[in-house]
């Protein structure tokens, strides 16, 4: 799991969009598993989004008219697949995120944390190569945020790669690596695990990044 941090306007979200094939870079190239995809036409980017990536959004972005289980199914539905094929997978994922008994509930009947857990289950449905999370705890209170983060950590421990943009040093500390961005460039990196070290590094980047850069040098 990689966490991306940086002050507002540093390009975190843009990086995530480009990584997730939602946007194209103005220059340079992006590749995954040796396949370049910044120059693909929209149709192939769409396939990539469906098959290679899974997304978790800050505002959950569940479809309000669908139940929790139906929301988990959406990546299969947009790919034109039959829901029955995913019956076990949906139940397994909902159980994993601790919502096995809420399958038939509408998003409005779920708390924010529960909604984000449904969104994580949705991101995992088609076993993506990479899960991209855009401030997954940004809209949650700290307890719900904690639950969501430990869920993500579990997923990573089971072998899933996750890239996450976050403002929350506590959340970032759960990652294996924390990368710092400033003005669109990587200005530093620390290993995860220690919230204090992440906070110090982040303060330093916000202040101008001298200490970190010296340390890197």
Partner 1 sequence: MSSSGLPSGVRLHGFAGIGLRSLRTRPLRSVLTTAGIVLGVGMAFGVMILVTTIHSSFGNLFSAIYGNTTVIVSGKSMVGSVPEETLAKVQRVDGVEAAVGGISGIFRVIDENGEASSGRDATLFVSGVDFDAPDPSGSEIVSGREPSGPRDIELEQGWAEQQGIEAGDRLRLATPSGVTQLNVAGIFALRTSLDLGGYGTAALPVATARELTGKRGVWDEIDVIGADGVAAATLQRRIAAVVGPGVEVATPAGRGEEANEAMAGLDIVLYFFSGMAIFVGAFLILNSFSMTVLQRIREIGTLRALGASRRRVATSVVGEALILAVVGCLLGLALGVALAEVLAAAMRNLFGLPLANLDITAGAAVVAVIVGLLATIAGSLYPALRAGRISPIQALTGGAEIERRPGLRRALAGTALFLPGLAVGGLFWFSNQSGGALAALVGVGSTVTMFVGMVLLAPFVVMPIVRLLAIPARVLMPAEGRLAADSLRANPLRTSATAAALVVTLSVVVVNSMLSASFIGSIDDELDARFARDLTVQPAGYSEYGPPMSGIDSSLRRKVAALPAAGTVTPRRIVYMTHLPGSEEPGLLTAVDPDQWSRVDHSEYEGASAAETMTGLAGGGAVIGKGLADETGLAIGETLVLKGASDTARVPVVATVDTLEANGNLVTLSLATMKRVYGIDSDSVLAVTAASPGQRKQLDGEVERLLERDYPGFEAVSNEEFKAQYGDAIDQQFAFFNAIIGIAVVVGLLGIINTLSMSVLERTREIGVLRALGGSRWRVRRTMLDESLLISLAGSIAGIAAGLFVGAAWIFSIRESTLVGLKLQIPAGILIVIAILGVLIGTLAAILPARRAAHLDPLKALTYE
- Give yes or no for residue 197 binding partner 1 (CB under 8 A): no
List the Cα angle 185/173/32 in 5-degree steps.
50
| Kind of pairing between the strands at 35-36 and 31-32 | antiparallel
| Residue 95 backbone dihedrals phi, psi, to 5 degrees | -65, -40
In the three-class reduction of DSSP (H, G, I as helix; E, B as strand; rest coil), residue 167 is classed as coil
d(CA 107, CA 94): 14
Q: What sign has the CA pseudo-torsion 147, 149, 150, 155?
A: positive
Cβ distance to partner 1 smaller for residue 21 or 151: 21
The correct pick among 22, 30, 40, 197 for binding partner 1 (CB under 8 A) is: 22
Cβ distance to partner 1 smaller for residue 130 or 199: 130
d(CA 76, CA 58): 22
DSSP 8-state secondary structure symbol assigned to residue 70: H
- Give yes or no for residue 37 binding partner 1 (CB under 8 A): no
**Residue 179 pairs with which residues in a beta bridge?**
4, 189
User: Which pair of structure tokens corresponds to residue 133?
Assistant: 């999370």
- Give yes or no for residue 139 binding partner 1 (CB under 8 A): no
- Asked whether the beta carbons of 205 and 7 are under 8 A apart, the reply is yes
- Give yes or no for residue 40 binding partner 1 (CB under 8 A): no
The correct pick among 58, 115, 147, 166 for binding partner 1 (CB under 8 A) is: 58
Question: Between residue 2 and residue 21, which ones bind partner 1 under the rule CB under 8 A?
Answer: 13, 17, 20
- Give yes or no for residue 23 binding partner 1 (CB under 8 A): yes
As measured in angstroms, the least distance from the Cβ of 34 to partner 1 is: 21
Which residues make Cβ contacts (< 8 Å) with residue 119, sequence separation at least 6?
Answer: 56, 57, 60, 61, 62, 71, 136
Cβ distance to partner 1 smaller for residue 60 or 205: 60
**How many amino acids of this chain bind partner 1 (CB under 8 A)?**
47
The correct pick among 29, 33, 82, 217 for binding partner 1 (CB under 8 A) is: 82
The correct pick among 30, 38, 91, 194 for binding partner 1 (CB under 8 A) is: 91
Q: Strands (DSSP E) along the chain, which ranges? A: 2-5, 31-32, 35-36, 53-56, 130-134, 161-165, 177-182, 185-191
Q: Which stretch binds partner 1 (CB under 8 A): 99-107, 144-152, 167-175, 201-209?
A: 99-107
As measured in angstroms, the least distance from the Cβ of 133 to partner 1 is: 11
Binding site for partner 1 (CB under 8 A): 13, 17, 20, 22-23, 42-43, 46-47, 49-51, 55, 57-59, 61, 63-70, 73-75, 77-80, 82-84, 86-88, 90-91, 94, 102-105, 122, 134
């Amino acid at each position: 799991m990689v966490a991306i941090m940086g002050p507002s306007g540093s390009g975190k979200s843009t990086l995530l969009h480009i990584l997730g094939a939602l946007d194209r870079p103005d220059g340079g190239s992006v590749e995954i598993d040796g396949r370049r995809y910044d120059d693909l036409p929209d149709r192939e980017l769409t396939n990539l989004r469906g098959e290679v990536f899974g997304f978790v959004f800050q505002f959950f972005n569940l479809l309000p008219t669908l139940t929790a289980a139906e929301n988990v199914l959406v990546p299969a539905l947009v790919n034109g697949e039959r829901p029955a094929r995913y019956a076990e997978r949906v139940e397994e994922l909902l159980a994993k995120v601790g919502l096995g008994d809420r399958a038939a509930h509408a998003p409005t009947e779920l708390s924010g944390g529960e909604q984000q857990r449904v969104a994580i289950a949705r991101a995992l449905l088609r076993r993506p190569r990479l899960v991209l999370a855009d401030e997954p705890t940004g809209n949650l209170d700290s307890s719900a945020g904690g639950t969501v983060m430990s869920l993500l950590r579990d997923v990573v421990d089971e072998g899933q790669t996750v890239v996450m943009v976050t403002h929350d040093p506590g959340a970032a500390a759960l990652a294996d690596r924390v990368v710092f961005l400033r003005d669109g460039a990587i200005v530093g990196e620390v290993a995860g695990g220690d919230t204090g070290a992440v906070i110090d590094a982040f303060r330093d980047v916000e202040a101008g990044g001298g200490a970190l850069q010296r340390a890197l040098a």
